[in-house]
Amino acid sequence: MIGHELTVEAGAKTGQVVLQKSRRSILVRRVMLSYRRARLALFCYLACKVLGVSWIALQSSESDKSLVTLLGYLWDAKWYLGIAQHGYGQADLIPGYGGGPAGRWQDLAFFPLYPGVVRAVSELLPMTIVGTALLITCVSSCVAAWGIHALGTVLHGKRVGLLLVILWGLLPQAFIQSMAYPEAMFTALCAWSLYALVTQRLITASLLAVAAGLTRPLGVAVVAAVVITAVLASSRGRRTLSAIVIAPLGLLGYFVWAGVCTGRPLGYFDVQRDWNTRVDFGQSVIAATSRVAAGNVSAVEQASVLIVITGLVLLWALLSSRPPTAVIVFSLVLVAVAVGVSGYIQIKPRFLLPGFTLLLPAATYLAKAKPITLAMTFAVLAFISFKYGAYFVTSEYTP
């Protein structure tokens, strides 16, 4: 009898091992199949990135800043690298706005996942901290392009998936995909979370939403997409409830931690106010549009207003096409935050960069176009994107 029990137990363990290996094998096959489908899209995306960075390199040779400085040390990149090297606790004194009291810019305004990954990888690789940051950005942008292709393909077919990736890689603000910024990592998490939602993998989507919520405050868009999709799910069960609970944990967890660090429950939002960031319901965008209409602004501000207006038009076109609920919620919340929060108009395009879903109408339209039309369209977009990016990073403007 004892021998029989031992035999049954051994057989059960063997069966579990075989089942685990089988699941692992299925997962590997799925990943490899997805990669083979996305190879052309990834090649086209990398070509866009190489050409864009090369254009910036040519411009940098005419300035007193190196390519590494332009991509790795400018603007917010310095804050992210500071967190990666020294942890949180940095602050700069700032003058008061409108004659008000002086305040402090604190690094608590920046979310921890990207600098945390940079720090962890830098301890494993024989590279400088900025080299590690740029490497992670490069890898993240490729993973993002892969996820964008996967989502576009499952929604409208492989051709649309390919065109969606190219359009995202040729956005005017696409140069940020090559900088020491978290936008590429954030977009990758959003893309794969939305793909998981569309393919009905709620738990996977919610876990990716946690990571997105630890990367950018715009993580609220993908968190909202997961929660609302779960709430509206036709079949409710343990997985649905778990997704609703899990998805906001990253975003809320960082808010709580920032509150503990500042000693105030709403400390994160106090920090953002010091950075002159608050909800203004689009007043800053309206004011910038008025200045552009008056004709007394720079070319960068004109382009930024045009990009925001184009984003709003694309949002309307997307909603008219009746995409899945997850895509609707993600796009609406992301645009609402990007437009409805105060800040310099030139940073608005960066907030819209993860909104690749806004490009779905354009990709589906171009999927019906002739090859010559596609070639001319992408040539024009590439010229605008590369020239805009090179001018932006070699100027004094902050994305």
- Model confidence pLDDT, tens digit, residues 223-266: 999 999 998 876 767 888 888 999 999 999 999 999 988 888 88
In a domain, 75, yes or no: yes
Q: How is residue 254 written in tokens? A: 């960082």
Chain-wide mean pLDDT for the chain?
86
Q: Give the angle subtended at the CA of 384 by the CAs of 383 and 385, to the nearest 5°.
A: 95
pLDDT, residue 300, reads 80
Question: Residue 352: which H helix or E strand, with range?
Answer: helix 348-352
CA distance 27 to 59: 44
361 found inside a domain: yes
pLDDT of residue 70: 83
Q: Which helix (H) or strand (E) holds 93?
A: strand 91-94
Positions in the chain short of pLDDT 70:
1-27, 62-63, 91-104, 234, 236, 396-399
Q: Which pLDDT score, from 0 to 100, does residue 277 have?
A: 81
Q: Is position 398 within any domain?
A: no
Residue 399 lies in a domain: no
The whole-model pTM stands at 0.89
pLDDT at 183: 95
Report yes or no on 190 lying in a domain. yes
- Residue 26 counted as domain residue: yes
Give the 3-state secondary structure of residue 371: helix
Return all residues near 168 (Cβ < 8 A) that are at least 6 apart: 45, 144, 145, 148, 174, 356, 359
Q: How many domains does the chain have?
A: 1
Domain range for 260 is 2-393
185 within some domain: yes
Write out pLDDT tens, residues 380-394.
999 999 998 888 888
258 alpha carbon, distance to own chain's centre: 22
Residue 2: the pLDDT is 53
Q: Is residue 116 part of a domain?
A: yes
> Distance between CA 127 and CA 117 in Å, rounded?
14
- For residue 106, what are the β-bridge partners? 91
